[in-house]
Each structure stands twice: as C-alpha cells, then as structure tokens.
Chains A and B, each alone.
Chain A
C-alpha cells in the first residue's frame, strides 16, 4: 500500500496513522519509534579455526587427551600403572565370561525376538480392505489375539521392571526347584543368570524388531501387492531386507546394553568382569581405583570400538533413501541413536 508520493506506508508502531506520510528521501532508513536509527550488522562474523575443524580433529584431540590424562594421573600417584599393566591380563578370563553370557543370550534372544517381533508388528485387526464376506470369517483372529496379548504382556513386563528384580525372581525359582543343577560346567546360579538375561534381552529385541518391521512404508507393501507378489513373497523380498537394515543400529545398542546388564549377574555369583574387579582387585588387593580403571579400560575399549565400527560400516554400506539418515542426526525415536551406540534399549513404548 502506498502513501503519498509513492513512499512506503509507515509501520503501525508510529503514533499517528491519520496524518499523511511525509515522503522519505531515497535510501534513508525509516526511524524506529524511539527516534534512533539501528544499523543492521552487515559484516558477517567469520568462523574461527576452532569452529571449523572437522570432527576427526576433535576425536584425535579427545583420545590423546584421555590417554595423556591416564598417564598423568598415574604419574601423580592416584593409581599405579605398573599394577594395572601387570594385573590386566587376569581380567581376560572374566571378560570372556561376560562376553559369552552377552553374546549367547543375544543370539538366542534374536531368534526368539524375530518371532515375537513379527507377532507384535501385526496387531490382530479386521482388514478393512478385505471384502465383507471374508471379514466375517476371519477366524484367525481367534488365535491371534491371545498370542498378541502374550507378546505384548511379556514385553511390557520386561520393559517395566528392572533387571535386578527379574534376576531375583528367576534365580529364586531356580534355587527353589533345583539348587544343585549343573550342566556344561555352569552351576545353577550361572544358568539362572543366563535365563534371566535371555528373557530380558528378548523383550527389548522384540521391540526393536517390531519397530523395524513397522517402519517399512505401507506404500511399498501396496506396490508389492500391485505387481502381484503374494503375502509371503512381499514379506521375504520387501519387508525383511529393509527391516534388517533398519534394525542394525538398535540391535547393536541392545548388545551393548546387554553387555552392561550382565554385570548385575556378579551379585548372584557369576564370575564376570565386574565381579573380578570388585572382589579380586578392589577388595582383596585393596586397590579400588586401579580396579575401576581396569574395568573402564575393558568397557571403553569394547563398547566404543564396537560403536564406531558399526557406525562406520553403516555409513559405508548406506543405501540412499533407506532407513534413517546418517546416525549423527536423530530421526525417529525408534531409531534414535547417534555417534556412539549405547542407547538404552532403543525400543519405544
């Protein structure tokens, strides 16, 4: 809207809107209500070197800093580095036990979770696209409902309770029924811990897999049907390949989570790495700080390298357009993982 003389209309903040606008000289900046002119900042702040460095630089700085700190503190007498170097190999056995527990439960859990995840991914619902006649006789709903209910209840129970509680329950049941049970070199406590861990990780993996299956766009399923692929074919050729790619991140998170949860087994007598550092080093040898440092070394080395490797592999094997964008940026809460992959049980509610 033009005022007199072709000059732009004043903003509403000017007091008198009835008075005609005086024509402004060309190039002048209209005065602000208080009468002062404000010069816009036309010189852009140049980014300094410390903001422009690529991430590899700060990773390098971080790592050297951490190593330097490690040696510095050792030199200062907080802990003795020779002791650490000497006793670290002692921990390899317990670490192996930890890894065994983690990986066996993870793999078995994966198999179970595949089944449960698929059940959870397809809530029994009348198919609205099917014909009315067919809908009435969808008897399969009769057995699908209890199955879905069981899977959902199981997952909710696992995700709603702490592992400590789950462990105690399983442990007590095992102890009450067969306290002297022994199999393949493991006693009853070990097996109790194994089953508790298995039940736990299956629950979380189910959610991750369910997320992956449900993330495959409905449009692609429709596209597959439209070219004549049957339900089984669609599942094998379209849903599964994409699911497997989508769940790599959450499942790695879950492995790491499992690895950390296994430490709780130390309190029912499983001699794994935390138990070793606690009983042998901290208490028996009376060197708690060294114990903690050794534990840190084991966990950092294993977890951080696993995460970095997986992130790298994901980035290299990325298929454009499939799945979440570069894990640095979070996307869906289901696949929320960034940088180091130790998110807690990346499933959703």
Chain B
C-alpha cells in the first residue's frame, strides 16, 4: 500500500476558485474520510489525486512519485489509484464480468484467461459471484456500486478513492456497500473517502478531515472532529449532519 500526499493544490474553473491551497497526508493503509458541505470542492480534490482533473498549482505524491509531473502518464496513475463514483459509471453495454475485465485487458494488457479469473475473484470478493453475466441495469444500486468497487480493485491499486459512494443508494444498499468498504479497510488499503455517512467514518476512519471553501479547515481523529470540533464552521456542520 502507498501513501498519498497533497501539497498546495489549487484549481479554478474559469472564475470560480474551487481548491484554494490544499495540503493533505494519507499514510499507507490509512483510511481518511473527507466531510464537508456540498460545493466545498471535495469531489474536485479527489479527482485531482488521480488526475481526472489537473491541478493548476501544487503537487500530488504517490509514495515518492510526483503525479503532477508532466512526464507521468495519467493512464498509469489511474492504474495505481482506483476510483469509485457516486453514480457508479458502469459500462451499460457490457455484462458485469466484462465491466471488470475491460480495463485489465485493454489498459493493463492482461491476457483473457487471467483477466477473467481476476474478474471472477474480485466479484466474489464483493459478493456478486452469481451476477457475472447480468447487465448493470438489471442490478440494484448497491450491487452496481459493488461491481464498480470490484472493477477498481481488479487493477490492483495501491490506493482507492471513493467519491460519495453511497449517496445515490437506498438505505438497504448503503449497508452492503459500506460493509465491503470496511472489509477493504481492514485488509489494509489506503483509502480516501468523501462521504456523509458519519457512522462509517466513526467506525472505520483513522482520520477525518473537514473540508470547506476549498481548503482543509480541520483534521483529526473521528472523535476529535465529530464530538470536540474546534472550528466554528465545523461545529455548525456537525450539528446539521449528526441528528
């Protein structure tokens, strides 16, 4: 597993400055939860880590490699860091098994037999061994998200990013997805999770970061942030979220 370090990242979209100098550290095997109001730039921050969005300024490091170095291939970066989206983004025209196999075969150039075995393995790992030949539209939200997780895991990433993975799910499905994520954390995966699920953050996260207005406002252990927040805005936010 690897560490992720973010140093001084800034990003603007036109006139709107979304990230105003972000510094972040995630140690190997650590689970970091990012919480904050919508529009604070959390999703953009995650996307800067795997270079779906290029920072205007600042650097992102995976272990000792500067990902923002223009010589680095973004495709390589995304094979090292997996991402799971709020809207799953599964490939609708492929079966579940093919969804997981696709990147293996065409980005990593793995042969068909190995790719298939890996796909079956990962899908079993998330509990969907019986849905190999189904199409994404035939699955429930929770199942689709687990396929997305399997797809990301199939690349054998050194770290995983989760962008509000359960926000689009019904309550039953939320639990099954969080269970998978919890297991992943136990197995030692470096994870950065943007979420509103405070229960998950309290149980699984090693550290929590409160993100607002494009920068880190507070960070600490879950107890520190949820129960004994220092900053005023953090307290206000927590009051609204924790009922």
Contact = CB atoms under 8 A, between A and B. Distances in A.
Contacts of B135: 319-322
Nearest to A243: B93
A237 B106 contact: yes
A220 B92 contact: yes
B106 A225 contact: no
Contact of A129 (B53, B103, B108): B53
B106 A229 contact: yes
Interface residues of A, number: 29
Interface stretch (B32-40, B73-81, B173-181, B226-234): B73-81
Contacts of A131: 54-56
21 contacts: A132-B56, A133-B70, A219-B89, A220-B91, A220-B92, A223-B90, A224-B103, A225-B52, A226-B50, A226-B85, A226-B152, A227-B107, A229-B75, A230-B75, A233-B106, A238-B91, A241-B93, A245-B93, A319-B137, A320-B138, A322-B137
Nearest to A245: B93
Contacts of B47: 129
B89 A220 contact: yes
Contacts of A320: 135, 137-138
B93 A226 contact: no
Counting chain B CB atoms within 10 Å of each CB, the highest count among A129, A222, A227 belongs to A227
Nearest to A320: B137
The size bracket of the interface on B is 35 or more
Interface string B80-110: 0011010111111100000000110011100
Contacts of A223: 85, 88-91, 148
Contacts of B87: 219
Contacts of B136: 321
B56 A228 contact: no
A134 interface: yes
A221 B77 CA distance: 17
A282 to B, nearest CB: 49
Given A319-B135, A321-B136, A228 B75 contact: yes
A130 B14 CA distance: 12
Contact of A226 (B76, B82, B92, B138): B82
Interface string A56-68: 0000000000000
B102 A237 contact: yes
A128 interface: yes
Contact of B93 (A130, A132, A222, A242): A242
B49 to A, nearest CB: 11
B107 A233 contact: yes
Given A129-B52, A220-B89, A321-B136, A226 B83 contact: yes
B42 interface: no
Contacts of B78: 225-228
A321 B56 CA distance: 37
B154 to A, nearest CB: 8
Nearest to B89: A223
Contacts of A245: 93
Contacts of A319: 92-93, 135, 137
A132 B13 CA distance: 10
Nearest to B136: A321
B41 to A, nearest CB: 14
Contacts of B83: 226
B205 interface: no
Nearest to A225: B52
Interface string B1-23: 00000000000011000000000
A227 B56 CA distance: 23
A321 B89 contact: no
A230 B93 CA distance: 19
B215 interface: no
Contacts of A132: 56
A321 B52 contact: no
A242 to B, nearest CB: 5
Contacts of B70: 133
B151 interface: yes
Given A129-B53, A134-B54, A321-B136, A227 B92 contact: no
Interface in A112-141: 128-134
A157 to B, nearest CB: 33
Given A220-B92, A227-B107, A233-B107, 15 more contacts: A129-B53, A129-B54, A131-B55, A133-B70, A219-B87, A220-B90, A220-B91, A227-B102, A227-B152, A228-B75, A228-B77, A228-B107, A229-B102, A238-B91, A320-B137
